[in-house]
Structure 1
Amino acid sequence: MTSPQRLPTSLTPLDRALDALLNGVEPVAPVELMLGEALGCVAAGMPPLPAYPPRNIAAADGYAFCARDLVGASSYSPLPLSAPPVWVEAGGAMPEGYDCVLDSDSVDLSGPMPQVLAEAIPGQGVRRAGGDIAAGSVVAAAGRRVLPRDLLMARAAGLARLNVRRPRLRIVNVPGGSVTADLIAESARAAGADAVSSTAAGRDAGSIAAALDDGACDLLLIVGGSGVGRTDATVTALAARGKTLGHGIALQPGRTSAVGRVGNTPVVVLPGAPDQALAAWWTLALPAVDRLSGRTQRKTVNLPLARKIASSVGIAEIVLLERKQDMWTTLAVGELSLDAIARAEAWLVVPGGSEGFAAGSPVDAYMLRD
């Protein structure tokens, strides 16, 4: 029987574990993806766009005029026209020399001579060239996630593909933790990664080690088997295929998490319990995904705390938050129930060197619903 793996006598501080994990990690090379595939990925450098619309177009159905020719026109003093007015459809190009559109109620065609019954100002009823997209704009700035509204802009500009960074993640599930592995895979895809999952043939070190050899990736995540029980062998398997940079992280929940390398590929071992895995995902794996994606920042919201958060010195603790009356209300600290996870709108980590935050203190929390 394989001896159980052991945690070190002292836990590795979270910031030290993260530094070791990210050491030498660089953004992956950009790829061109179809618009639907690029959604949620992080934008790489994109070429400047031409103006859209490329010329003035009608914003509504009506008659095209030159505004200066309509000065003084009203229902009390109709302006007779020497020729029938030009009709334009919404979205159609404006005729040369015309700069406004009047609706049909403002033009009387019932008599022998057409008459205009209202004035207009230049640009009325017109969408000007570059009004939607200014020349030189980009679909999304490098380092920012591609959002649905960015795809609208891309389609309007006639683009079929976007230049993005999408790191390849491989998730190895140690049998017994499929619910957690699915959660991490879905979280990875939501972060813009290309995530592929597989399950080790067994919980023993040999089976897990064999699963680690199954394909190249930019970040390897192993879910489950990180503890010190008799059937926990993930860290032993990691050491057999690469090296362990830290096992036993000063993180609550998630103390049995680990970081390492297989060749040049960074590895995060996440515990099998959902709350512990999420803690390791947020604090270790997600920063690695951001580094690989070239993401410049993650959305935070700064609000005061409704009540004090107390924390143990020496252990970084995850806090789940809910927004109420423009304040952060604490849902859970260190122990994260599934209900709290489902309700949470944001999270933050209390650093290991801190005793917590006083009531009323403004804190930056990472949004879970962005």
Structure 2
Amino acid sequence: MWTNDEPSSVAGLPRLASGALMALAEARGRLAAGVMPVAPISLGLGEAVGGMLAGDVVAMADLPARTLALRDGWAVAAEAVAGASPYAPILLASQPVWVEAGDDLPPGTDAVLGQEAIPDPEAPPGRIRVVEEAPATEGTRGAGADLSRGQNMAAAGTRLAPSRILGLAACGIARVDVRRPMVRLVATGPAGAAVCAALAAFIAADGGIAVQTRQPGRHADAVAEAILGSPADAVFVIGGTGFGRTDVSAAALTLAGTVTAHGVALRPGETAGFGTAGGRPVLLVPGRPDAALASYLTLGRPLLGALAGTRATDRRIAPLLRKIVSTLGMSELVFVQCRPEGIEPLGSAEIPLHRLALADAAVLVPPEREGYVEGTSVEIIPL
């Protein structure tokens, strides 16, 4: 089981009162304050997939460079075969040029007829019958139709998806500059291993690289040493964020650096915290799975985005299929399942694991609202 990250009192640490919780909006701003995007690295296309592009990728030439045939057939001038049919064939003085898909169209041609359009291509000159017509550009792709010189193929701050590789490679682009922040995950107890594995997957999907350290145990000194350990752009400490006897994450961060906040007005995830150590941001992530995921989506992902130089994406809006009830004064993350007709809330705070496993998005209810009525269109956070 994970550690109980609920607030409680313990010698040397204050009890976490609701009034001491930092507002989520303030926590986001202070966590990312002063954070600059990591240095870009040049990678081959295969290695760069998943990274955030450090600059716009622009086509350096038209693609294709010249008009191409899209199918095998006869290259003709459309005007010369206009009106051709089996009942009114057009006779050609010479056999047209046969082209294969991908060939340049010969000068003076602008369409490609199928093989059956000329039943007897070996007939004497002047007796070669064309029995089908073709409009101009039929069976062809014009110069620059795929990409035009100077066209932005992928914008800075967007994730390089596998679907982009075809276009980039076709343009002769073999390498791109990407940013891939490295996040060190430190689990303070055995139960944190499962949460670490899940967060590592989310970090990779969001363009980062997750590196897991050996579990330092429940000793503040050991956790502090792990925080200051191997190089990383940020550190996430998993578990031990509460105020119980074995919860040492905040104390460890105090030893390693500075605690900026311990306790955020977020449900689930009240015991999250953050600070800095060794010149790097450190996020304290509760060990309970729903609280860990909520903390990552609302604090960890924005921090990773700041390190990666992530570009803002369009908001996704969907209607609620059931109402959401929330508590005033707390930002509440409600996990939902997306359906064709809208989104279905899966529960409130402290959602059980078997329900959390069904989630594919979440809704963040701001602290000034008591929830949303059924049918309200709300912004969703994709998982």
Please give the range of the TM-score, normalised by the shorter of the 2 chains.
over 0.9
Matched, 1:68 2:68: no
Instruction: Give the TM-score normalised by the residue count of structure 1.
Output: 0.94
Q: Given the alignment, which residue of 149, 154, 169 partners 2:163? A: 149
Q: Contact (CA 8 Å) 2:184, 2:211: kept in 1 or not?
A: yes
Aligned-partner SS, 1:333? coil
Instruction: Name the counterpart of 1:195.
Output: 210
Query: 2-side partners of 1:118 and 1:268: how far apart?
Result: 69
Task: Give the letter for the 2:271 counterpart.
Answer: T
Q: Is the 8 A contact 1:4 1:230 kept in 2?
A: no
Indicate whether 1:358 and 2:373 are aligned. Answer: yes
Cα deviation for residue 13 of structure 1 reads 1.7
Give 1:4 shift.
6.5
Deviation at 1:103, TM superposition (A): 0.5
Q: Is the 8 A contact 1:5 1:227 kept in 2?
A: no
- Which string of whole-angstrom CA distances, capped at 9 and with x for unpartnered residues, describes residues 307-351 of structure 1? 321111122111011234522221122122222222123101112
Instruction: Give every structure 1 segment of 4 or more consecutive aligned residues whose post-TM-superposition deviation is greater than 3 Å.
Output: 2-9, 110-113
Whichever residue aligns with residue 175 of structure 1, its letter is G
Q: Which residue of 1 aligns with 2:323?
A: 308
Secondary structure at 2:317 match in 1: strand
- What's the CA shift for 1:285? 0.6
Structure 2: distance between partners of 1:58 and 1:303: 43
Contact 2:228 2:278 in 1 (8 A): no
* Whole-Å separation in 2 of the counterparts to 1:60 and 1:265: 57
Identity of aligned residues (%): 37
What is the CA distance between 1:296 and its match in structure 2? 2.1
- Classify the secondary structure of the residue corresponding to 1:153: helix
What is the deviation of 1:213?
A: 1.9
8 Å Cα contact 1:175-1:200 kept in structure 2: yes
Q: Distance in 1 between matches of 2:37 and 2:363?
A: 25
User: CA RMSD of the aligned region, Å?
Assistant: 1.8
Do 2:228 and 2:277's aligned partners in 1 also have CA atoms closer than 8 Å? Answer: no
Partners of 2:184 and 2:234 within 8 A in 1? yes
Distance 1:202 1:335, change over 3 A: closer
The reply on whether 1:55 has 2:69 as its aligned counterpart is no
Amino acid across the alignment from 1:54: A
Letter in 2 for 1:242: G
Where structure 1 has 5 or more consecutive residues not aligned to the other structure, the ranges are: none
Which residue identity lines up with residue 265 of structure 1 in the other structure? R
TM-aligned CA distance change 1:4 to 1:174, over 3 Å: farther
SS at match of 1:332: coil
- 1:244 deviation in Å? 0.3
Partner of 2:32: 22
Q: Secondary structure at the match of 2:152?
A: coil
Say which is worse superposed, 54-63 or 39-48, in terms of deviation.
39-48
Instruction: Tell me how far 1:236 sits from its aligned partner.
Output: 0.7
> For 1:127, which of 138, 141, 147 is the aligned residue?
141
Q: Check 1:6–1:199 CA distance in 2 against 1; reply closer, same or farther (3 A cut).
A: farther
Equivalences for residues 85-96 of structure 1 within 5 A: 85-96=96-107
SS at match of 2:347: strand
Aligned counterparts of 1:273 and 1:317: Cα–Cα separation in 2: 16
In 2: Cα distance, 1:72 partner to 1:299 partner: 49
Q: Which deviates the most, 289-298 or 180-189?
A: 289-298
Is 1:169 aligned to residue 180 of structure 2? no
Which one of 214, 224, 236 corresponds to residue 221 of structure 1? 236
- Name the CA distance, whole Å, in 1 between partners of 2:271 and 2:14: 10
Distance 1:4 1:114, change over 3 A: farther
Once residues 330 and 47 of structure 1 are traced to their aligned partners in structure 2, the CA distance between those partners, rounded to angstroms, is 39
**Aligned partners of 1:53, 1:132: CA distance in 2, in Å?**
7
Contact 1:226 1:233 in 2 (8 A): yes
* SS of corresponding position for 2:301: helix
TM superposition score normalised by structure 2: 0.91
Which residue does 1:204 correspond to in 2?
219
> Structure 1, residues 263-313: CA drift from partner, whole Å, max 9, x if none?
331110101121111011011110111111222224542122223211111
> Which of 342, 351, 356 matches 1:341?
356
| 1:355 Cα offset (Å) | 1.3
Q: Name the residue aligned to 1:265.
A: 280
Q: Report how far residue 199 of structure 1 moved.
A: 2.0
Note if contact 2:187-2:216 (Cα within 8 Å) is conserved in structure 1.
no
Q: Which deviations, in whole Å up to 9, do the C-alpha atoms of 1:37-59 show, x marking residues without a partner?
A: 22222222134202111111100
- Displacement after TM superposition at 1:216 (Å): 2.2
In 1, Cα distance between equivalents of 2:351 and 2:161: 30
**Mean alpha-carbon deviation: is it higher for 307-316 or for 98-107?**
307-316
| Other-structure match for 1:234 | 249
- Matched positions, count: 367
Is 1:250 the counterpart of 2:238 in the alignment?
A: no
Partners of 1:5 and 1:229 within 8 A in 2 = no
Once the two structures are TM-superposed, the CA of residue 5 in structure 1 deviates from its matched residue by 4.3
Aligned mates of 1:72, 1:183 — CA distance in 2: 64
